Chain A
Amino acid sequence: MSGGSLAAVERWVEQPLRRFVEDARLRRTLLLHPSGQVVAQQGFARSVDVMSACALAAGIRASAGELGRMLDGRPFGELFHAGDGRQLYLADVATPRGPYVLLAVFDAESSLGLVRLYFAELAEHLAAAAPAPVAEPQVLPSGFEQELNRNLAVLFGRA
């Protein structure tokens, strides 16, 4: 049984990822941009924890990629970290919207073989589900600065 519900910034990843989480019996899952920005998460309680985990996952992926390039000119496509009771799988997913990074945490209820098996399926499903990029509408109205300044002042105890 997987732990925690799934939340996604980009809706098109939800269905393939939810299926992957169930099939591979994951405890925690992150889908992120290589820059460290979260696309979807499952199993984390706080949004700030998700951001930290994404930053670290992007860092691991980036440094291992550079190491691979140094060794033979090719980045590592997937990484596995063994732990005491929980394990971690990190892999690149190529989609028409660009590369994404998957981080999967699993325990004794799953195995690396199972995760890799279903990951191959996930990569296919994500590549098929990815919509073409579209221009989004303007997000913030002009004049947002006053609200930003007020929020920052509160944050720094200056309000």
Chain B
Amino acid sequence: MTIVNYATREITCKIVYYGPGRSGKTTNLHYVYEQVPDGRKGRMVSLATQTDRTLFFDFLPLDLGSISGFTTRFQLYTVPGQVYYKTTRRLVLQGADGVVFVADSQARQLDENVESLQDLHANLAEHGVDPRTVPLVLQYNKQDLPREMILPAQELDDALNFRGVPYFAADALHGRGVFETLRAISELVLRRLSSPAMAGR
């Protein structure tokens, strides 16, 4: 649910990075955090275990600056990927304006990717949201690993991207694809605010 303050001309959007455990969701946020200057970001909040696995969520507030006269802010969240945190994922997903699905490109992780994507759809449906209407971008992460370990982005796309949404090959650890992914989901989310049919959401 995008928050629009007409009095102060501010827009606030919630974007959730979703995907299986260890696919690189938190790594995406860390890279964004490192790139953005201090004045344009808040503290990155990580509710994690002692071994740095996401326990509840990571959170990073960003100030995108002025767009069409509106001060635009994004709230980036990640969810814990492990199967047993389903309830937590559903809670974090509540009110999301857009979702980045971070898939693990390793061939042996394909089933986990599919399962996590199904879990995303189920959780959206539980919130009464039609999964086909939510702005979504797919990111095929870890494309820097040796070729024999991973599936090419096109092959992953054939397996996961049945909606035909934008997708990006990525190496989040070194930043490849992170910016492009954020730009794509930002555009999809904000485009809803420029469509009269979606106004008032």
Tell yes or no: B142 within 8 A of A by CB. no
Q: Of A18-26, A47-55, A78-86, which binds chain B?
A: A47-55
Contact between chains at B35 and A157 (CB < 8 Å): yes
Given contacts A36-B75, A37-B14, A51-B42, contact A140 B91 (CB under 8 A): no
Given contacts A144-B68, A147-B67, A155-B40, contact A136 B91 (CB under 8 A): no
Partner of A38, one of B3, B6, B63, B68: B3
Contact between chains at A33 and B12 (CB < 8 Å): no
A47 / chain B contacts, CB cutoff of 8 Å: 61, 63, 73
Given contacts A11-B7, A37-B3, A152-B183, contact A140 B95 (CB under 8 A): no
**Minimum distance in angstroms from B97 CB to a CB of chain A:** 9
A62 / chain B contacts, CB cutoff of 8 Å: 91, 94
Tell yes or no: A135 within 8 A of B by CB. yes
CA–CA, A37 and B77, complex, Å: 12
Contact between chains at A34 and B94 (CB < 8 Å): yes
Given contacts A152-B64, A156-B179, contact A138 B3 (CB under 8 A): no
Tell yes or no: A59 within 8 A of B by CB. yes
CA–CA, A137 and B72, complex, Å: 17
Chain A proximity mask over B20-60: 1 for CB below 8 Å, otherwise 0: 00000000000000011100111101010000000011010
Tell yes or no: B128 within 8 A of A by CB. no
Contact between chains at A55 and B75 (CB < 8 Å): yes
Tell yes or no: B11 within 8 A of A by CB. yes
Chain B proximity mask over A32-44: 1 for CB below 8 Å, otherwise 0: 0111111100000
**Minimum distance in angstroms from B56 CB to a CB of chain A:** 6
Within 8 A of A (CB), among B66-114: 66-68, 70, 72-73, 75, 77, 87-88, 91-92, 94-96
Contact between chains at A33 and B194 (CB < 8 Å): no
A46 / chain B contacts, CB cutoff of 8 Å: 42
**Minimum distance in angstroms from B63 CB to a CB of chain A:** 7
**Minimum distance in angstroms from B95 CB to a CB of chain A:** 2
Tell yes or no: B170 within 8 A of A by CB. no
Contact between chains at A152 and B186 (CB < 8 Å): yes
A158 / chain B contacts, CB cutoff of 8 Å: 179
Within 8 A of B (CB), among A124-159: 134-142, 144-145, 147-149, 151-152, 154-158
Given contacts A37-B95, A135-B199, A136-B200, contact A49 B42 (CB under 8 A): yes
Tell yes or no: A114 within 8 A of B by CB. no
Q: Which chain B residue shows the least CB distance to A10? A: B5
Given contacts A11-B7, A135-B199, A141-B194, contact A155 B57 (CB under 8 A): no
7 more CB-based (< 8 A) A-B contacts, given A46-B42, A51-B73, A63-B88: A7-B8, A11-B7, A49-B43, A136-B200, A141-B194, A149-B183, A152-B182
CB pairs A–B below 8 angstroms (10 shown): A11-B7, A36-B14, A36-B95, A37-B3, A51-B12, A135-B199, A139-B70, A140-B70, A148-B190, A156-B179
Q: Using a CB–CB distance below 8 Å, which chain B residues touch chain A?
A: 1, 3-8, 10-12, 14, 35-37, 40-43, 45, 47, 56-57, 59, 61-68, 70, 72-73, 75, 77, 87-88, 91-92, 94-96, 179, 182-183, 186-187, 190-191, 193-196, 199-200
